[in-house]
Amino acid sequence: MALIEWRTEFETGIAEVDHEHRELVELINALHREIDAAAPKPAVAAFLGEVLSRISAHFALEESAMRRRRYDAYVEHKADHEKLLDDLRDIMDAHHDDRAVDYAGDLKRAVQDWFVAHFKTHDARLHRAPGA
């Protein structure tokens, strides 16, 4: 079962952003499957690193598009991006240091809640913005 099911309401109307959103959802779902399959710690750590890297690159693309469009909610949107990156780094650190009792559950909650909430709020507003 997928952690995040793709929905059209996640689309922003910016083709390159929407394409990357779909790829990120697929990557998150692949990580979820790895965790559910009890993948070894190094494999999960590598996957977490890949997720962080790809999400960081995606955020840079999205933020560049917002700056080009002079998007009025750029600061708030970027702050939400930074929050997810911080949450992911915390999960990675806990996983690395064996401090996470339930890193799979923590990751699931952080990513699922964040993506769904972010797509429905910040990205939906971006989609409705002039020039979108």
Residues written for the chain: 132
Residue type, 114: W
pTM exceeding the 0.85 threshold for the entire prediction: no
In sequence order, the 6+-apart residues with CB closer than 8 A to the CB of 38 are: none
- For the segment(s) 18-128, the CATH number from 2.40.50.100, 3.40.640.10, 1.20.1250.20, 1.20.120.50 is 1.20.120.50
3-state class (DSSP) for residue 120: helix
pLDDT of residue 53: 94
Domain boundaries, the chain: 18-128
Residues in Cβ contact with 69 at an 8 Å cutoff, skipping those fewer than 6 apart: 129, 130, 131, 132
Report the C-alpha gap between 83 and 85 in whole angstroms: 5
Per-residue pLDDT of the chain (132 residues; tens, 9 = 90+): 778 888 887 777 778 878 888 898 898 888 888 888 888 888 888 988 998 999 899 899 889 988 998 999 999 999 999 998 998 898 888 888 887 667 667 777 777 777 778 877 887 787 777 665
